[in-house]
Structure 1
Amino acid sequence: MQKTFYQKELLIKAVQQRKGVNNNKKDVEKIQSWLNLFAMQNPNSGTATDIDGDFGPATEKAVLNFQKANGQPQTGNVDQNLFDKLVSPLKKAFESPISGNNLRELILNTAQNHLKNHPFELVINNQSNTGPWVRSYMDGHEGTEWFWCMGFVQAIIDQAASIQGKNFKTLMPLTYSCDTVGTTGLQKKILTRYQTARTNSALIKPGDIFLLQKTPNDWIHTGIVTAVHADTIETIEGNTNAGGSNNGNAVMNKIRNYKQSKLDFFSIESLV
C-alpha cells in the first residue's frame, strides 16, 4: 500500500493516565478522539469527553466507562492493549482480509468494509475535518480546509489494488484534489462526461469514480460507484452526509440520480 499513515494512528508511545509522567498531548488527543468515536456508536456508554490533550478527571472517567463497557479491568489508564481496543475499527478497515474475483469487486468490498467500521470526522480545536479517520485518509493532513472525499477514494483504491500487487498511482497521481483527478481523466481520455453518461449507462461501472462537476474543469466532490441502475447510481463516499454534502462528516452509502446531476465518471479500467 502507498497510503500507510493509518499505521501511526494505531500506536501510543507510553501508558497514558491521569497525572502520568509519560503523558503525551498527541497521544491523549488520540485516546480522547476514540472515546468520542465510541460514544457515537454507543451513546449510553458515557465515553464522550473534550479533546484537549489533557488527561484529567473527565478523560479518566471516560476511560473507566469504556473499560466497563468492554469488560476490561477498570484502571482508568490506557496502555497499548487498551488502545488496540479503542482503535480496532480503524485497524479492521485497513487490515481485514478482503476477497474479490477482480479489482472492481475488491474495490467494492474494501469500501464496504470501511463503511461498516463507521469512519467519522471530529471537530478538534474548532477545526472540522479532523481526527484519526481523516488523518488516515489524508496522509496526516487535517483541518477545516482539508476536504477528505478524494483521500477516502484513493485510500480504497490503493488498498484494493495492493491486494493484486498493483500501484494505484499508475492510474492517477496521489492527490487530495478532485480537480487533479478530473484533469487526469481528461488527459488520459478515461473521463466520461455527464452528458454522455446520461444517455449510455453502460459506460458507468461499479468501482469507477464519480466526480461532481461545478464547471467543466472544476469538480467539488467524489465517491466510488457501487451499483448502476436506470436513473440512479449507488455510491460509497467520504466527507459527506445524508444530504450529499461535499463537506459532510462521514463515510456513507448514498443514492444519486446521475440523470439529474452533473456527475462525470473516471474509469478505473486501465488498472483492472
Structure 2
Amino acid sequence: MKKDWYKKELLLKNTQQRNGADNNRKDVMKIQSWLCLFNIWNPNSATATGIDGDFGPATERAVQNFQKIQGLQQNGIVDQVVFDTLSVNLKNAFETPLQSNDLRSLVVEAAENHVNNHPFELDIKGQSNSGPWVRSYMDGNDGNPWFWCMGFVQAVVDQAASSIGKNFKDLMPLTYSCDTVGTTGLQKGILSRHQQIRQDLSLVQPGDIFLTQKSKFDWTHTGIITQVFGEVIETIEGNTNFQGSRNGIAVMKRTRNLMRSKIDVFSIAPLI
C-alpha cells in the first residue's frame, strides 16, 4: 500500500502513565484521542477526556474505565498491549484481508470494512478534521484546512488495488483534492458528467468514485459508490454527516439521487 501512515498511529514510543518519566506528549494525545473515540461508540463508558497531552488523574481514570470494560488489569497504565486494544478499529480497517476477486468488489469491500470500524474525526484544541483517522487518510496531516473525503477515497482504492498487485496511482495522482481527481478524469476520458449520467444510468457502477459538482471544473465532495438502484446510489463517504456535508465528522453510508444532484462519476475501469 502507498498510503501507510496509519501504521504510525498504531504505535507508542514508550509505555505511558500518570506522571511517567517516559511520557511523550504526542503519545498521550494519541491515547486520549482513542479514549474519546471509544466513548463516541460507547457513550456510557466514561472514557472521554481532554486531549491535551497531559497524562493526569482524569486520563488515568479514563484508561481504568476502558481497561475495566475490556477485562484488562485496571492499573491506568497504557503499554503497547493496551494501546493495541484501544486502536484495534484502525488496524482492522486497514489490515483485514480482503476476500473479493475483482477490483470493483474489492473497493466496495474495503469501504464497507472502514465504515464498520467507525472512522470519526475529533476536535483537538479548536481544530476540527483532527485525530488518528484523519491523519491515516491524509498521510499525517490534520486540522481545520484538511478536508479528508478524498484522502478516505484514495486510501480505500489503494487498499483494494494493492491487494491484487496494482498501483492506484496508475489511475490518479496521490492528492487530497477533488478538483485534481475531477480534472484527471476529464483528461483521461473517464469522468462521466451528471448530464450524461441522467441519460444513461449504466455509466455508474459499484466501486466508482462520485464527485459532487459545484461548477464545471469545481468539485466539492467525493465518496465510493457501493450500490446502484436506477437513479439512486448508495455510497460510503468520508468527512460527511447525515446531511451529506462535505465537511462533516465521520465515514458514513448514505443514499443519493443522481437526478437531483450534480453528481459526476470517475470510473475505476482503467485499473481493472
Q: TM-score, normalised by structure 1?
A: 0.99
Give the Cα–Cα distance (whole angstroms) in 2 for the partners of residues 56 and 22 of structure 1.
14
Determine what percentage of the aligned residue pairs are the same residue: 65
Structure 1 residues not aligned, in runs of 5+: none
2:39 matched residue in structure 1: 39
The aligned amino acid for 2:86 is L
Regions of 4+ moved over 6 Å: none
1:114 matched residue in structure 2: 114
RMSD of aligned alpha carbons: 0.4
Give the Cα–Cα distance (whole angstroms) in 2 for the partners of residues 100 and 20 of structure 1.
46
1:160 matched residue in structure 2: 160
Aligned residues: 272
Q: How far is 1:101 from its partner?
A: 2.0
Give the Cα–Cα distance (whole angstroms) in 1 for the partners of residues 5 and 230 of structure 2.
39
Q: How far is 1:97 from its partner?
A: 1.0
Give the Cα–Cα distance (whole angstroms) in 2 for the partners of residues 173 and 129 of structure 1.
22
1:53 match: secondary structure? coil
Matched ranges for 1:211-222 at <5 A: 211-222=211-222
Q: How far is 1:230 from its partner?
A: 1.9
**What's the CA shift string for 1:176-207, capped at 9, x where partnerless?**
00000000000001000000001111000100
Give the Cα–Cα distance (whole angstroms) in 1 for the partners of residues 227 and 88 of structure 2.
29
1:206 matched residue in structure 2: 206
1:249 matched residue in structure 2: 249
Matched ranges for 1:170-185 at <5 A: 170-185=170-185
The aligned amino acid for 1:139 is D
Give the Cα–Cα distance (whole angstroms) in 2 for the partners of residues 187 and 230 of structure 1.
27
Give the Cα–Cα distance (whole angstroms) in 2 for the partners of residues 165 and 77 of structure 1.
40
Q: Does 1:18 align with 2:18?
A: yes
Give the Cα–Cα distance (whole angstroms) in 2 for the partners of residues 67 and 101 of structure 1.
39
2:77 matched residue in structure 1: 77
The aligned amino acid for 1:167 is N
Give the Cα–Cα distance (whole angstroms) in 1 for the partners of residues 51 and 182 of structure 2.
36
